Chains A and B, each alone.
Chain A
Amino acid sequence: MDPSLVNDSSFSPANPSSYTLSEIWPFPVNDAVRSGLRLAVNSTPSDKDVSTAAAAAAAAEESTVTDLTAGWGGRKARALNSEEDESSKMVSLSSSGNEVVRFVRFCDDLNVVVSVDLKDSGEKKRKLCGSESGNGDGSMKPEGETSSGGGSKATEQKNKPEPPKDYIHVRARRGQATDRHSLAERARREKISEKMTALQDIIPGCNKIIGKALVLDEIINYIQSLQRQVEFLSMKLEVVNSGPSTGPTIGVFPTGDLGTLPIDLHRNIYEQQEANESRGSHPEWLHMQVDGSFNRTT
């Protein structure tokens, strides 16, 4: 008996956290199926929960109707086959906007195969497991790998609403180079932009700037100014260091403690040093006023 493909059109778009059973499974179900599905649907998007849900569903199961595999949790699908061409997967709906859904596939009683064709940001289609039961085991493992790849990149998937389709069909997973590359690209870019926001927090005055290029300009300017300050201060220190009576009065701004040095002071020093660099000789920038107290660092 071949599971026949059922075309169904009722799939609510853009409502990831409020799937009801009637929406996703518009067929008459018996209790076992309902319990299994309910457990799956209500599971929180964590691997443990889903696998326990699967296990619980499988445990509470009547014998003949459904077979559930914990396909989500261990990244591997174990087909609990009671009959030869039976295999099934778990439905897990994550409420965090990841729309990777796998459906329980029932055989025999319902004679349907339902799966979801996901669109992943329009670039490619995430293909789910093969429809053929003969391919069930063979295609489940790459499906597990896809899901592992997809799960790790799940946070980067765009939350594309499911378009109302005329039919829901199963495609064998391709997972070829282009798809994986674009996924990897996206993951990379996400990581880099995340680190850039971390950088933005460090650098003062960078929060308001939007746009990667400008932020990077700011970062580069800041690093350069810091390096110039180090040079400037090392020049000062050299004067201090050499000479038995450490020479002329070195003028600095009142700095006080280490921790509360405002960054504007740094900028002032930097600009001052820039202005003084043009003079080119040592003693001139040393003739400044000194005031304020200081703290030793050690």
Chain B
Amino acid sequence: MASADKPINTDVPEKDVFALHFLQSLSNLRRQNTFDSPEKTNDRVKKIKKAAYVSMARAAGGTNRLWSRALLRRAAKENNKVVRFPRRKKRVTCLRRRSNRRDPVEEEEAERLRNLVPGGGGMGTSKLMEETAHYIKCLSMQVKVMQCLVDGLAPK
């Protein structure tokens, strides 16, 4: 790592990009669901939720963020699709540092974070914090956008 600590780099995700993707996926879903059946409501809910997350992952981080990658991979696996990411060259130092990353004092707290944030298992604690910050920003952005969508699409 650089000797001078760079300011924590969390780009604020763009609402427009996310909204665009989300609306596209929503319209796709709407075209699919031509029938109303109460049993499938939960499925639809899940689909919408997944679409929301996927579009958020695509819009917010692209493939530059670990959690977005994990999200996309997980979503693709459910659809039986294979996702390819441009692999960055793995440096040896990264591998070597992994053995040292955990500290028993902080580990219990980090464990809970890892369960929450997607892709948390493969990150060191320091990286986890960064991803958490970015994830929180994206989540709040997503909530706001969805809120406005609901307002906007609901009939008066």
When C-beta atoms are compared, the residue in chain B nearest to A260 turns out to be B144
Given contacts A202-B136, A237-B153, contact A220 B113 (CB under 8 A): yes
Query: Would you call the interface of chain A mostly helix, strand, loop, or mixed?
Result: helix
Shortest distance between the CB of A201 and any CB in chain B (Å): 9
A294 vs B149: C-alpha distance when bound (angstroms): 9
Are B49 and A230 in contact, CB atoms less than 8 angstroms apart?
yes
List B22-81 residues whose CB lies under 8 Å from chain A.
23, 26, 29-30, 33, 36, 41, 44-45, 48-49, 52-53
Shortest distance between the CB of B21 and any CB in chain A (Å): 11
Given contacts A220-B112, A258-B144, A298-B20, contact A194 B5 (CB under 8 A): yes
Encode B122-151 as 1/0 by CB contact (under 8 A) with A.
Answer: 000110011011011101101111111111
Given contacts A192-B129, A199-B129, A243-B36, contact A290 B142 (CB under 8 A): no
A243 vs B33: C-alpha distance when bound (angstroms): 9
Encode A178-198 as 1/0 by CB contact (under 8 A) with B.
Answer: 000000110011011011101
When C-beta atoms are compared, the residue in chain B nearest to A195 turns out to be B129
Are A233 and B23 in contact, CB atoms less than 8 angstroms apart?
no
When C-beta atoms are compared, the residue in chain A nearest to B113 turns out to be A220
Are A188 and B126 in contact, CB atoms less than 8 angstroms apart?
yes
Q: Which residues of A contact B103 (CB under 8 A)?
A: 185, 188-189
Interface size class of A (residues with CB under 8 A): 35 or more
B11 interface residue, CB < 8 Å from A?
no
A249 vs B155: C-alpha distance when bound (angstroms): 7
* 8 Å CB contact of B8 from A198, A255, A282: A198
Are B137 and A152 in contact, CB atoms less than 8 angstroms apart?
no
Are A258 and B154 in contact, CB atoms less than 8 angstroms apart?
no
A252 interface residue, CB < 8 Å from B?
yes
When C-beta atoms are compared, the residue in chain A nearest to B48 turns out to be A234
Are B112 and A229 in contact, CB atoms less than 8 angstroms apart?
no
A195 vs B52: C-alpha distance when bound (angstroms): 27
Are A234 and B36 in contact, CB atoms less than 8 angstroms apart?
no
When C-beta atoms are compared, the residue in chain B nearest to A245 turns out to be B155
Shortest distance between the CB of B139 and any CB in chain A (Å): 4
B93 interface residue, CB < 8 Å from A?
no
B156 interface residue, CB < 8 Å from A?
yes
Q: Which residues of B contact A189 (CB under 8 A)?
A: 103
Are A237 and B48 in contact, CB atoms less than 8 angstroms apart?
yes
Shortest distance between the CB of A6 and any CB in chain B (Å): 34
Are B155 and A226 in contact, CB atoms less than 8 angstroms apart?
no
A224 vs B116: C-alpha distance when bound (angstroms): 8
Are B30 and A255 in contact, CB atoms less than 8 angstroms apart?
no
A68 vs B152: C-alpha distance when bound (angstroms): 73
Are A219 and B106 in contact, CB atoms less than 8 angstroms apart?
no
Q: Which residues of A contact B45 (CB under 8 A)?
A: 231, 234-235, 238
Encode A60-94 as 1/0 by CB contact (under 8 A) with B.
Answer: 00000000000000000000000000000000000
Are A226 and B139 in contact, CB atoms less than 8 angstroms apart?
yes
A240 interface residue, CB < 8 Å from B?
yes
28 residue pairs bridging A and B, Cβ less than 8 Å apart: A155-B5, A191-B5, A191-B126, A192-B129, A194-B8, A195-B129, A196-B129, A202-B133, A216-B109, A219-B136, A223-B116, A229-B143, A230-B143, A233-B146, A233-B150, A238-B45, A240-B154, A242-B33, A242-B41, A246-B153, A249-B154, A249-B155, A250-B154, A255-B148, A258-B148, A282-B41, A295-B151, A297-B19
Residues of B within 8 A of A (CB): 1, 3, 5, 8, 10, 15-16, 19-20, 23, 26, 29-30, 33, 36, 41, 44-45, 48-49, 52-53, 100-101, 103, 106, 109, 112-113, 116-117, 125-126, 129-130, 132-133, 135-137, 139-140, 142-156
